[in-house]
Amino acid sequence: MRERLRRGKAEQERRAQQAARRADQLMSASYSQMREAERTPREALYRAEVLKWRIEGGGLKPRLARRSLAGRR
C-alpha cells in the first residue's frame, strides 16, 4: 500500500514539474512564436482543402476562411 502511494506521489510530482516547464516555455515564448503556433494548423487545413480541390477537378476555388485572413493583420 505504501509503495503504491509513493509511486502515485512521484507520478503526481513528475506531472506537476512537467506542467511547470510547459508554462515557463509558454511565458517565455515571444509574441511572434505564439502567432506562428496558432497559424500553422490553419495553414495545414487550407493546404488540405486546396489539394482536395485539385484532385476533384478544380471547379470553384476553395474559400479562404475570413478568420485566417483576419489573424494575419
The answer to whether residue 48 scores a pLDDT higher than 70 is: yes
Percent of the chain with pLDDT over 90: 4
Mean pLDDT of the chain: 77
Element containing residue 38 per DSSP (H, E):
helix 31-55
First-to-last CA distance in the chain? 58
Q: How does pLDDT run across 2-41, given as a tens digit for each residue?
A: 777 778 888 899 999 988 887 787 777 777 777 777 788 8
**Domain regions of the chain by residue span:** 2-71
pLDDT at 23: 79
Kindly provide the b/e burial profile for residues 52-64, where b requires at least 16 CB atoms within 10 angstroms of the residue's own CB. eeeeeeeeeeeee
